Structure 1
Amino acid sequence: MEKQEALLRQCLAKANSTKPVILHIRGKVGQDVELNARCRTMAEKYLEKEQPIQLHCFSCEPGVFAAWRKVFPQVYASISGMVARFNPRQKQELQEIPLDRLLLETDSPYLPIVGKVNMPHFVGDVASLVAAHRGERTQDVLAAANANCRSLFGL
């Protein structure tokens, strides 16, 4: 863990405030809240408040995204095919993420929804699952995620 934190500090110190910082924060089951808090604390030391951030493969407990957004208003949560296996608390957190901060991903070739192979064109399946968990229309989730992606990456 110490080596990973040292490397993260080095990367954060070199971050460019005009380019998104993409963070993949994962640990053992039950560690996500603590790891997010540790990474957020490190990020606060090195990044500007308006730094754009993508939380890649986000799948946390309620309140984690709000804690990030309190410190970094330009943070986005990127939801992958793992949404197919979200537990009730992760689904609750998904519902709490504002639509204007939501991104979609397949993390291809990893994290398939079904089967062993994942492809980028399955992003619509991810959107359908996200929409179902949030009680929204798939096309609204896709449109918002598209607009958010364009905003985050300056496209």
Structure 2
Amino acid sequence: MQYEIIDSHCHLDFPKFSRDRGETIERARQEGIIAMINSGVDYSTNIASLELAKKYDFIHATLGLNPQMVPDASDEKISQILSQIERNIDRAVGVGEAGLDFHYCETESGRQRQIEVFRQVIDIARKYNKTLVIHGREAEDIALKLSHDLDTVVFHCYGGSLETMREIVDAGHFVSVPTLVCFSEHHRSIAKHLPLDNMLIETDSPYLSPRKGRNEPAFVADSVPQIAALKGIDASEVAISTVRNTRRVFGI
């Protein structure tokens, strides 16, 4: 049985979709994906995300600044992206992805710079009352402390601890379960213990495919029966809840 689903985080503007972007979007629609949130990560992908949202009324853009670029980026480059986000804020359904990624950044100076820039992104989300989409990796607890007081926060592709996940839920925020739930025991545990009222689902495509090769928005459908089985509920309940949550989070 097919049900309506939303892919709450993807990167359709990335080069891996250059050859068949239109066909990829059409496949998602045929699979019952009624909306897609395309997330910018820097200046050029923010522009591309806005262009996709302009072209397709069921694709919505968030404008971001990926933490992985922050330690080596000049102040000028960071300011340029932050200004771009503010200038286009009315065309975006959220701010992000942005946050902290300590996995590859092991220097204290690099990590502090990520925190400093993330604070500026949080300020934009607060100023314009926009949902903040967090990229948190091996720093989820710090990202939560910094963003705790915002009205609406989504921890995208969450892979942190169950303890921090419960703190996110207690703060009234949301956790997005990636297609990793199809094969990762840790993500299966997260999905099992995450309340449906706080759950979104995503592909993060072109990454994290539950099938061989490139991931794409249509494959978010693979997650729904997996999550349903973990929770002992009907798949349609997972689909309905996550669609409702995503609409509420992004105002779509």
The match for 2:48 is: none
Q: Percent identity?
A: 25
For 2:206 and 2:187, locate their aligned partners in 1 and report how far apart those are by CA, in whole Å: 22
The match for 1:23 is: 134
Task: State the superposition RMSD in angstroms.
Answer: 1.7
The match for 2:228 is: 131
Runs of 4+ in 1 over 6 A off after TM superposition: none
Is the counterpart of residue 116 in structure 1 residue 213 in structure 2? yes
Find the partner of 1:84 among 178, 182, 188.
Answer: 182
The superposition leaves residues 75-108 of structure 1 with CA deviations (integer Å, 9 ceiling, x where unpaired) of 1111111112322x54333222111111111111
The superposition leaves residues 33-59 of structure 1 with CA deviations (integer Å, 9 ceiling, x where unpaired) of xx1211112224xx44xx111110012
For 1:92 and 1:113, locate their aligned partners in 2 and report how far apart those are by CA, in whole Å: 17
Unmatched segments (≥5 aa) in structure 1: 28-34
Asked if the contact 2:174/2:198 (under 8 Å) is kept, the reply is yes
The superposition leaves residues 7-65 of structure 1 with CA deviations (integer Å, 9 ceiling, x where unpaired) of 111111221363210001113xxxxxxx1211112224xx44xx111110012332222
The match for 2:112 is: 2
Find the partner of 1:146 among 231, 243, 252.
Answer: 243
For 2:192 and 2:168, locate their aligned partners in 1 and report how far apart those are by CA, in whole Å: 16
Q: How does 1:9-88 map to 2 (within 5 A)?
A: 9-16=119-126, 18-27=129-138, 35-44=139-148, 47-48=149-150, 51-70=151-170, 72-73=171-172, 75-87=173-185
Q: TM-score, normalised by structure 1?
A: 0.82
For 1:94 and 1:61, locate their aligned partners in 2 and report how far apart those are by CA, in whole Å: 12
For 1:150 and 1:23, locate their aligned partners in 2 and report how far apart those are by CA, in whole Å: 18
The superposition leaves residues 111-153 of structure 1 with CA deviations (integer Å, 9 ceiling, x where unpaired) of 1012111111111101122222222221110111111111111
For 1:14 and 1:77, locate their aligned partners in 2 and report how far apart those are by CA, in whole Å: 21
For 1:53 and 1:146, locate their aligned partners in 2 and report how far apart those are by CA, in whole Å: 16
Asked if the contact 1:127/1:141 (under 8 Å) is kept, the reply is yes
Q: Secondary structure at the match of 1:91?
A: helix
Asked if the contact 1:56/1:78 (under 8 Å) is kept, the reply is yes
Q: TM-score, normalised by structure 2?
A: 0.52
Structure 1 or 2: more strand by fraction: 2
Greater gyration radius: 2
Asked if the contact 1:20/1:52 (under 8 Å) is kept, the reply is yes
Q: Secondary structure at the match of 1:14?
A: helix
For 2:169 and 2:197, locate their aligned partners in 1 and report how far apart those are by CA, in whole Å: 12
Q: Secondary structure at the match of 1:142?
A: helix
For 1:130 and 1:66, locate their aligned partners in 2 and report how far apart those are by CA, in whole Å: 18
